[in-house]
Structure 1
Amino acid sequence: MNDSSSGRTRDPSPAAEDPDLVRARAGDDAAFGRLVAPLRRELHVHCYRMLGSVHDADDALQEALLRAWRGVGRHTGRGSLRSWLYAIATRTCLDAATTRRRRALPVDLGPASDRVPPDGVARTEVAWLGPYPDIAITTGPLGPHARYEQREAVELAFVAALQHLPGNQRAALLLFDVLGYSVAEIAAMMDTSTTSVNSALARARRMVAERVPPATQQQTLREIGDDRLRRLVTAFAAAFERRDVDALVALLAEDVTWSMPPLAQWYAGLDAVADFATEVPLGSCPSWRSLPTSANGQPAVAFYLGEDRTGTHHGWSVTVLTLRGDRVAGITSFVGEDHFVRFALPVSVGGETAVGRCS
């Protein structure tokens, strides 16, 4: 990962006499709202990294801010408000992680499928990893220990790898390598020893290194450049709209994978992915429309499915592309209209006919 610490500054430390902090301690909820408003987005991203779900991040952030509001009278102002809120948000996420199932992708559940099932069935009992809309990603100040760029640290491979870590290791890695807090600061945040933090950090780094490709998507996107990236994403979407399997295959890496949570099946390798594309999305599905978007710091396409070319097309998936060079190495189609709402995308486009079905 890139060392992004150069030129970064530590958390700004608001003065204890901040008028809104004084008012908040006296019970002024509007003043408290003004204090936390600039930090809400970055805290939400932190909760997403910890929990792997926008919905869970919503709940955790709401609970964390409620805890902060109840405890603001005990915040002396000697330390940064931002650090204090990150400590509360981290502990809230750790509490949530003990009562919720680990978020997963289809690759975590079993081997790739060797054939296309007659009818894919959603696995509703699985807690699926979800996508994060780029419109919500924000970059807060990083400390001198930060090793990851903020957008690198929300990429699908990284967030998926985090879900395999115990909560304390996940927190240590994010607070140190992503946000740049010192080991001593993290030990205070998590009410533990610096020895425990160092141990958790070392173990977390080993696990993440095994699961995350050495080249991040941010590095790949910079190498490709905006023009080539735009052409690639446009060609990918056009292959769907034309239902052109050959055009799609021409964009894919030999070892490409395709998964579609909440469906458990996933496909690995050019032949398997081509067979699936031929039989289902580009063979059985009547008509596609698309809109470009982005998720987890990666290019994405919102796909809409309709009964015919002139009728209404309803949201089917937010499909996130993982690139290697100028080829698509991973396709992750997050199926469901609920994702469209999160991404501020229309849930349907086109005319008046009923939703198409893909089987």
Structure 2
Amino acid sequence: MNRRDFLKLLLEGGLFALVGSCGGGSGGASGSTSPQPTPQPQYRTVKFGLGEDPERLINAYDPDGRRVLDILKPDIVCAWVNGGRDISGRLYTPSLSYIRDWASKGRFYEWSQSGYELMFITWENYDGQNPDLGIPTYGDWHISDVFLSDLEETLRYLRDQFKNRLYFALATEQSTYTACRYDRTCSDPLAYSDRINSITEEYYSKLRGNLIKAIRLIKSYFPSAHVGMCFGGWLVEFEEGINFIRYFDQVLSESSAIFFQSMMGQKASETGGYGNPERILKNAKFFSSYSKPVHLAHYMPVNRRADVISDDAERMSNPEYLRELARYLSSFCFMDYSVLKNNEFNCLTNVAKLRERLKSIPM
């Protein structure tokens, strides 16, 4: 390198150093700091589910069902698996005939390909309240081998056809199953429901054991399924109810999720300010202490009052309520589309608004 080129190189290097020291770099004394990125708003989603018969909804067996489905666009479709006892006294699973039919038609594959997730809710005709399911079971179905064997048959169909997320809400409202078990006249159901005592522990210890078997069975087929018990929403509202839940802590430990229901038949304005929205939030908060996903498996007023649905949905659409709810709840499932189809009291309109807001909740 000759002298001229050397001086030129030295001059350029010094000039660059001078520029850097005079504010061109991030560490210069008079330089400005780099602009910080604007924090992006955080959003959460609460999945929406719709029941009670996926085939009627998706495959337009009921055109009104398909219309409601298209309006609400659920993430999850919900199916009930009911236990019964025939007139000869034999325990059986009436819903299994539907499940077999769906499997033979390839429905599970079809629904999976359409992007739906699927929730099964198990319940039994414990006091004979549904004559279509035969005579009372008195809680025997969920503690039987029939429950486990029919569950495994269902799992085999699903393993072959269904590829999306599955949910299993087991023994919903199980705290009512002994209401007539120890007094067949059902004259004092409060003596035997919603509480563990020296009489009812005989039943609930068997239920606890069989539910653990069911959960392990489901996990053996679908390790990523959300599976757990489904509690009556009223239990968190009184001490004996909470003690009832705690009795099943071993089941909850085995579970990968927790489910509850809310079916109050009145508006909050009719009950001193405590209605379904308050019950749902109270349950979601309570069960979140178990550090598992919490799901509302079935919401609907027990008396099917459309004005209650409309009022509940309007109140739950409040942004502050949703922000609080989304901290605890993973999914919100509507029990039966048929009460919505006529849009009485704008119930479908308001549920559609709630559903839309559940998709993206600012936190």
TM band (smaller chain) = under 0.3
TM-score by structure 2 length?
A: 0.25
TM-score by structure 1 length?
A: 0.26
Q: Which of these two proteins has the greater Rg computed from alpha carbons?
A: 2
